Amino acid sequence: MKRSKTGIAALCLALSSPLPTGASETDMANPSAVLSEAVRKLRYPTAIYVLRDDGDSVAAAGMADANVGRPLGVDTPLRIASNTKTFTAATVLRLWEQGRIDLDAPIAELIAPEFDRVLRRDGYDPGRITVRQLLSHSAGLFDHGSDPRFAKSFLADPARVWKPIELVTLMTEYADPQSAPGTEFRYSDDGYILLGHIVERITGQTLAAAVREQLGFNRLGLNDSWWEIMEEPPAGAGPRARQWLGNQDVTDVNASIDLYGGGGLLMSARDMARFFKALFEGRVFARGETMQEMLRPGPHKGSDQYRLGIFVDHIGGRDVYWHSGFWGTYALYDPETRTAAAGVTTNQEGYRDLVSIVRAKVPRR
């Protein structure tokens, strides 16, 4: 493996600053042709799906599985890793608008005793950490996924099945609390593991079933999407793509390394774009106020870059919202032009080029 830094959080944070965006395609007569040409030039297999009110742009090139000659398409599912956080956050917000969860409630009231014990043993106080702080990464938690010891561990034993409590325990073994709750943004997969756990306790369902039901996967036509291990693929969904870290095939690393809310979804570029457009255009939440709550900045340091399950950035002089995933996935939405775009690459080393192309699809003023 070529990379020495393989933390799940590291890639998101490294890429939260503006990237080169290339030329805008707003004035191009055939944006799909322009997109296809850009994707064909990339080193690694890539698929991009763009949704606008005036038409879609679609492009894909390369192999989803070179061993069997299967090409990558915009409908090819693959692990979207931390892009899953937006779905977990949206599910929590659906429960909030139903009056089933208080975003400002201490998590001590919501988590199982074994999680409470593990956190307190390391100096965390679940009585001071709130659901909102987990959603906004402002609870002061360390992130086990960004520690190189975790990557070393799962690559050495790729078949190991990890339980949520084991991952949270790793967080406490790797480092102590990073900051006081509610004071600053510190990205943490473990916060979203706790959120996934809370969703399951509130709903009495698996996280997969709760997310599917609350967000309306079937209603929205997300036919290439399912939660790995926890549920069966939808009828007609294609096989997932193989995924790589440089020269290392990581397809068969057990999904439990990133399954419980911070990651876990298998999804295509098309479905990611469809979901982002539906989310921001009022077809997921029952009330407009819920979307406002998701995007409202918190009082903590760093809330200018991350809200509740979604990053915020600036393109063309305005706010756009996005998230990314460690293996090489990216989705964004531009409210002003109602543009949703998502892309996937089968190799993490192709991620920066993928993001550059996707961001170029946002029309300039």
Mind listing the pLDDT tens digit for each residue in 124-153? 999 999 999 999 999 999 999 999 999 999
Q: Of 8-17, 168-177, 297-306, 326-335, which range is least confident?
A: 8-17
Residue 4: in which H helix or E strand, if any?
Answer: none
Residue type for position 88: T
pLDDT at residue 22, as a whole number = 42
Supply the mean pLDDT for the chain: 93
CA 123, CA 186: separation in Å to the nearest integer?
Answer: 17
Q: Is 20 helix (H, G, I), strand (E, B) or coil?
A: coil
Rounded distance, CA 116 to CA 126, Å?
7
Q: What mean pLDDT comes out for the span 12-26? A: 45
Measured from the Cβ of residue 320, the count of other Cβ atoms closer than 10 Å reads: 20
Query: Mean per-residue pLDDT for 83-108?
Result: 98
The number of residues in the chain equals 365
Alpha helix stretches (DSSP H) within the chain: 8-14, 31-40, 84-97, 113-121, 131-135, 148-156, 164-174, 189-203, 207-215, 217-220, 269-280, 288-295, 351-360
* CA-closest candidate to residue 355, choices 137, 46, 61: 46
Contacts of 157 (CB under 8 A, 6+ apart): none
Residue with token string 């989803």: 64
Provide the 10 A C-beta neighbour count for residue 357.
24
Report pLDDT for 32. 83
C-alpha R_g of the chain: 19
Residues 311/321, Cβ–Cβ less than 8 Å: yes
Max CA pair span of the chain: 61
Q: Cα separation of 251 and 358, whole Å?
A: 24
For the residues of 92-115, what is the DSSP string, one character each? HHHHHHTTS--TTSBGGGTS-HHH
How much is the pLDDT for 317?
86
pLDDT (tens digit per residue) in 305-336: 999 999 999 988 899 999 999 999 999 999 99
Which listed residue (16, 57, 82, 225) is catalytic? 82
The pLDDT, as a whole number, for residue 224 is 97
Non-local (6+) Cβ contacts of 14 within 8 A are none
Instruction: Give CA–CA dist 220/283, Å, rounded.
Output: 8
- What pLDDT sits at residue 72? 98
Mean pLDDT of 287-312: 98
Residues 6+ apart with CB under 8 A from 204: none
Task: Give dist(CA 122, CA 276) in Å, integer.
Answer: 37
Q: How far apart are CA 320 and CA 362, in angstroms?
A: 9
At 16, is the pLDDT very low, low, confident or very high (cuts 50, 70, 90)? very low
Mean pLDDT along residues 160-169: 98
β-partners of residue 320 are: 313
Q: What is the pLDDT of residue 190?
A: 98
Residue 350 pLDDT greater than 80, yes or no: yes
Number of other residues whose CB lies within 10 A of the CB of residue 127: 13
Q: Tell me: the pLDDT tens digits for 206-220? A: 999 999 999 999 999
In the predicted structure, residue 101 carries a pLDDT above the cut 90: yes
- pTM of the entire predicted model: 0.94
**In this structure, which amino acid lies at residue 322?**
W
Decide: 323 and 38 in contact? Cβ < 8 Å.
no
pLDDT at 12: 53
82 is catalytic: yes
The per-residue pLDDT for 228 is 98
pLDDT confidence of residue 31: 75
Q: Measuring CA to CA, which residue among 50, 52, 68 is closest to residue 60?
A: 50
Predicted local distance difference test score (pLDDT) of residue 29: 55
